Structure 1
Amino acid sequence: MSPSLQSTQELIYGCMGLGGSWSAEPYSSAQVDEAAAAVGAALEAGITLFDHADIYRNGKAEAVFGEVLAQTPGLRATIRLQTKCGIRLNEQGLGTYYDLSRDAILERVNESLARLRTDYVDVLMLHRPDPLMDPAEVASAVGQLMAEGKVRAVGVSNMSGPQIEVLQDRLEAPVVANQLEMSLLTRAWLESTVLVNHADGTDYSFPHGTVEHCVRKGITVQAYGALARGLYTGAPAATPTAADSATTALVAALAAEQGTTGESILLGWLMKHPAGIAPAIGTANPGRIRACAGAAAAAAAMTRAQWYRLWITARGSDIP
């Protein structure tokens, strides 16, 4: 039996970058090797939770990961897997639509298990809120999958506190995680907390109270896009702002001061938050993955003033 989803802070490896292109073109042996190198680097960094979705690279992210599992006896027992369902791409003449119907959940989970070459996933994440979702149908599908041993826990992604509550009213199992886009660049989740009753609050659509709901209910907050797509650690920006440049310099200075990496500073900034945020790393570059290993230590060493300085520098203006 694999370890259960942990409620303590940890890093997650996001597998969206594995498997080659988003086209229907089959993956190659080189892309399997790339996935194996990324998984190995993640394990070296102390990561044991791997995040998937049925749509990532048109299913190829799961498929190459399944190849890695098949080639590495004993690996499955030492890691945890989560995958998502609920988004359909390029079907019925539509680029994107959502489908959390009972039949769709059952179908897509079984397809994911086949690609991943595993009998179960530790967590099934419902990928996006579906306006046509019937919570009773979702509960029926999740209940069946859990009874069959194919799913061990359920989570959500991109959902607000009230949306989670509506689901939880029907689900027998507790929602264990909510995955949201959160970083020093994507700060709506944070800005909404200090811009209550402030004119600038209308600039941010993040539903205030969602993080607080997760904290109250013991739901792990997972952050995707946590490295800000490399903006502050060397990735070229088309039109960097003065705030971007200043933040890049500050991240580098703090990394030098702590004797760590810029990646660890960025992730540590998220992990310093008392919500117990678990950042997901999306890069397939083994060097960048290893550079994230010091995130927990960076969070512990970061002072309150340094945490606020990063935030204020990134936003380009003082807080109210």
Structure 2
Amino acid sequence: MPHSPLQLLDGLLDENGLETAAHRFVLGGPFGAEPAETTAERLAHFAGAGGLLVETSHSYAGGKAESAVGDWLRKNPGTLGVATKVGHDTTGGNIQLSRDTVFAHVRSALDNLGVEAIDILLYHCDDPSRSVAELADTLLSLVEAGHARRVGVSNWRAERLAALAARLGDSGHTPVASYQFSLAEPDPALLEGSLHADSAVLDVVRRHRLALIGWSSQARGHFARTEPKAHNGKPDPYDTEDNRTRRLRCVELARQLGARPETVALAWTLHHPGVWPSIGPRTTAQIDSSLQARRLTLTEEQVRWLRDGR
């Protein structure tokens, strides 16, 4: 009997070895800031190509992103799982993560998405004024209320992530983590408060066997161009000496493999078990281009060389 997309999603998150044509890519994009037909075309194409999970946030596109995704999900129920994040206002600023505020935002997200339960519900940020225990208990309450199937966090410091994983683990739940993760490591000062999955975070992810949604997995196009690109009027956070040399190594290996440099960089990300690279293609052709990374099998030596040059 074929598995449903959501059964496959749980299977891949839990690394239980399901044999399936499904893949670990997560679809992001400018939902709510583009024509509805563009969103619909991209979501349908992604689902048809074995995609399982679409990612958005309660704050994206001035609060319009969830509704844009929800319009398609209502017409195609059970086709894709959905991950959304709460903890930012519609300007992208952090809010206090009180239980009442979180529950109110989650109920609003459920209405926007048109689903009975959110497949993966994440805190978009931390609230250091509150204990990990309090924030974890709020997440558990959301699961117990039937509002979320899986829960987790984005942009938490490693020590707080570890404490959360332990707290939820004691209650039988393994959280999902969400951080920037790609071959290009950004200048943290230019990420505007968001966090890269550094060695400390990755140690927690591995130790607690967490699934990691790696956003900006293509480093905002760093490996597909030769010149830096400003973001929101600020310098390109990926334009560093280390990342420029990594791009050159991708170009060299891509020539050997008959692939594109950005495909090699994305294959590097896929090489890491438990990482779900989030991609933000604007067209169906760009979805297909990203999915080509599945056909590249890199050796451990190539993976190490791409990152460290040795």
Q: Same fold (TM over 0.5)?
A: yes
- Find the structure with the greater CA-based Rg: 1
Query: 1:21-170, aligned counterparts within 5 Å?
Result: 31-72=35-76, 76-90=77-91, 96-168=93-165, 170=167
Cα deviation, 1:233-289, whole Å, max 9, x if unaligned, reads: 13853486776665545434433433444443111112223x532211123222211
Report whether the alignment pairs 1:287 with 2:280.
no
8 A Cα contact 1:154 1:173, kept in partner: no
Partner of 2:216: 225
Give the drift of 1:163.
0.5
Partners of 1:104 and 1:14 lie apart in 2 by: 27
Partner of 1:179: 178
8 A Cα contact 2:175 2:210, kept in partner: yes
Partner of 2:30: 17
8 A Cα contact 1:188 1:206, kept in partner: no
Q: Secondary structure at the match of 1:119?
A: coil
Opposite residue 95 of structure 2, the aligned amino acid is Y
Q: Secondary structure at the match of 2:104?
A: helix
Opposite residue 120 of structure 2, the aligned amino acid is V
Which runs of no fewer than 5 residues in structure 1 stay unpaired? Answer: 21-29, 190-203, 313-317
8 A Cα contact 1:44 1:290, kept in partner: no
8 A Cα contact 2:117 2:146, kept in partner: yes
Which runs of no fewer than 5 residues in structure 2 stay unpaired? Answer: 16-21, 189-194, 230-235
Alpha-carbon spacing, 1:126–1:245, altered in 2? closer, same or farther (3 Å): closer
8 A Cα contact 1:89 1:96, kept in partner: yes
Partners of 1:262 and 1:43 lie apart in 2 by: 25
Give the drift of 1:229.
0.6
Partner of 1:278: 276
Partners of 1:86 and 1:205 lie apart in 2 by: 18
Partner of 1:199: none
Partners of 1:214 and 1:121 lie apart in 2 by: 22
Q: Sequence identity of aligned pairs in percent?
A: 23
Give the drift of 1:108.
0.7
Cα deviation, 1:10-44, whole Å, max 9, x if unaligned, reads: 43334342211xxxxxxxxx611111122123224
Partner of 1:24: none
Partner of 2:233: none
8 A Cα contact 2:181 2:196, kept in partner: no
- The CA RMSD measured in Å over matched residues stands at 3.1
Give the drift of 1:182.
1.4
Q: Secondary structure at the match of 1:254?
A: helix
8 A Cα contact 1:223 1:280, kept in partner: yes
